[in-house]
Structure 1
Amino acid sequence: MELRHLRYFKVVAENGGFARAARLLHVAQSAISGQIHDLEEELGVSLFDRAKRQIRLTYHGELFLKDAKTVLVAADGAVANMQRSLRGEIGTLTIGFGVFAAGTYFPAIIKEFKRRFPDVQVSLVEMTPVMHHKALQAGTIDIAFTRPIQPSDVQSLRFELFQSEPLNALMLKSHPLAKKRSIFIRELVHEPFILNDRNHSPVTFDKVISLCGEAGFSPRIAATSTASTGMIALVEAGEGVALLPQGSVVLRGNELVLVPLADRMASIDLVIAWAPQHENPVLRSFLDVALKKRRKP
């Protein structure tokens, strides 16, 4: 039994005869009659009462018509869903992010994507950059707002620059430099530094070390943390200063302040990354929305 048999049967049943069904389907009447005969042979029952001029459904035909309609609606729905899937309109999307990538642009992207693709189920997973890269390769997340890809991963991952974020010095409001409009990193030469753990955020760690090196000193590392929330807590506890993009910091109370760095290279990139081997239409739809929202240079 094929869907063609069910479609022919439905049209004949709803239009009271083979001749009208043939005209509607643009198929020879003999072909339709043959298909219905084959269907009845397979089912082992007569679906139509052909004793009168206008054929009518038998009792068994009435029952079968209900089921045939259900099957045809499901089949048509499956085809429609497949077409929507090919256009990236339905499916699931798991997005990796970190506190460093949770600025005001992030909710705006999610909102715009859901407005355009309401039938895509979106899940968010908070991770460190190294975890992002591993999860992308494993296929446990589809796309990530993360730090630049390490050289060891450039063959397996693709990325697009989303924005370059200026770095700020996070310090206590009681700090002597806290009231300045901006500072150079060399002014922090004697300060204890709170850094990202390099095992989790190598790009950010190396960026701070590089900036300090260009300013002529090596930072005195007082503590490290796997996440910016931990760094903020350590600064608030008086353990030192930290260099963070503004989007990474949610200031609590009145104890902390962000002071922009005036150094020309004091910025860090945020990228959108994905694994080409796991690419799909939903991912491409999201990427299109996200890249249109990225900050212009």
Structure 2
Amino acid sequence: MELRHLRYLVAAAEQGSFSGAARRLHVAQSAISEQLSDLEQEMGVQLFTRSSRKTSLTPAGELFLGEARRILADSERAIETARRAQRGEIGSLSIGFFAGSVGLNFPRLIRSFRRQHPGIRISLVEMTSTRQWQALVSGEIDVGFTRRVEPEFRTELISELIHQDPIFAIVPNDHPVVPGPVDLRDLASEPFVLSSRDTSPAVFDKVIELCSEAGFSPRIASISSVWSSVVLMVQAGEGIALLPLNQQQYRTRDLAFCPLRSKNAFVDFVMTWSPQHESNVNRSFRKLVKAHSTGSVVRL
């Protein structure tokens, strides 16, 4: 049994004759008659009562007609579902992010995508950059917002620059360098609190690079895995820190966030995905992100 058998049956029932069904479907009348006879033989059920004037359904045919219409309607819905999936209008999307850099525009971006694509189920998963790269390769998430991808993942992942986050010196409010801009050489004797390289290699490497360009190696007092802990340690007097500005938390009491004089005092914030797990939903989301991103340094 094929869908065309059901279409022929519905047309013949609604037109009251095989000739009427043939005109409606633009096929030969003999094809209608032959296909419906084949259907009856396959089922072992007489569906039509045939006469020279009219073709009508048997009681069994009447019951079968309802089921045929349901099957055809289900098939049309299935086809439309596939087409909508092909257009990236339905499906699911898992997005990795880390709160330290997505910024205030990220929630608006997600809400905008939800409004434009109500048929897509979105899940947000907070992960460090390192964890996101692993999850993208495995297909655990579909797209990630991370720092610059480390070399070991660059053959498997594609990245697109969203913006560049400026790095600030985080110091006590009464520090002599406040309000900046700060020449890093003035901080050479200070103990430093660093963000862990295991969780944020791009930031760790950038701090070491900036200090090296200023002519010194930082005296590391402590290392922490999250932005908030680094700030807390600075508040506690453990040392000073160099971090990308977290626009959601930078108005922390007792601390000053001072810009640096160095022209390359920034780290990339990128959107990352795996071409091995590509989808139209993913493409639709990236298109929206690209339309909203600047690809430039974020400044206050």
Q: Same fold (TM over 0.5)?
A: yes
Which residue in the other structure is 2:35 paired with?
35
Is 1:288 aligned with 2:279?
Answer: no
Of the structure 1 ranges 273-282 and 166-175, higher mean CA displacement relative to structure 2 is found in: 166-175
Q: Which amino acid aligns with 2:231?
A: I
How many equivalent pairs are there?
296
Distance 2:247 2:185 in 1: 22
Distance 1:65 1:262 in 2: 79
TM-score, normalised on structure 1? 0.93
Say if 1:99 and 1:229, in contact at 8 Å, map to a contact too.
no
**Is residue 145 of structure 1 aligned with residue 156 of structure 2?**
no
Indicate the SS of the match to 1:247.
coil
CA contact (8 A) 2:164 2:266 kept: yes
Counterpart-to-counterpart distance in 1, 2:184 and 2:252: 25
How far apart are residue 55 of structure 1 and its match?
A: 2.3
Specify the alignment match of 1:98 in structure 2.
98
**Identity across aligned pairs (percent)?**
46
Aligned to 1:117: 117
Deviation at 1:60, TM superposition (A): 1.3
Gapped regions of structure 1 (runs ≥ 5):
none
Task: Report the equivalent of 2:259.
Answer: 260
Partner of 1:7: 7
**Cross-structure match for 2:21:** 21
Q: Distance in 1 between matches of 2:168 and 2:13?
A: 74
Provide the alpha-carbon RMSD of the alignment.
1.8
**Any idea what the Cα deviations from partners look like across 1:9-29, whole Å, max 9, x if unmatched?**
112122222111111100011
Give the distance between the partners of 1:34 and 1:6, measured in 2 at CA: 13
* Alpha-carbon distance in 2 for matches of 1:84, 1:165: 37
Partner of 2:80: 80
User: What secondary structure, in the 3-state scheme, does the structure 2 residue paired with 1:254 have?
Assistant: coil
* Mapped partners of 1:101, 1:291: distance in 2: 17
Check whether the contact 1:232–1:249 (CA below 8 A) recurs between aligned residues: no
Note the C-alpha offset of 1:181.
4.4
Please report how far the alpha carbon of residue 170 of structure 1 lies from its aligned counterpart in structure 2 after TM superposition: 2.3
Alignment match, 1:224? 223
1:177 aligns with 2:173: no
Would the aligned equivalents of 1:99 and 1:248 in 2 still touch at CA under 8 Å? no
The change in CA–CA distance for 1:226 and 1:248 in structure 2 (over 3 A counts) is farther
Q: Deviations over 1:179-208 (max 9, x none)?
A: x14322222222222211111211110000
- Give the letter for the 2:294 counterpart: R
Distance in 1 of aligned mates of 2:173 and 2:191 = 16
Name the CA distance, whole Å, in 2 between partners of 1:242 and 1:70: 66
SS of 2:216's partner is coil
Q: Equivalences for 1:165-244 in 2 at 5 Å?
A: 165-178=165-178, 180-244=179-243
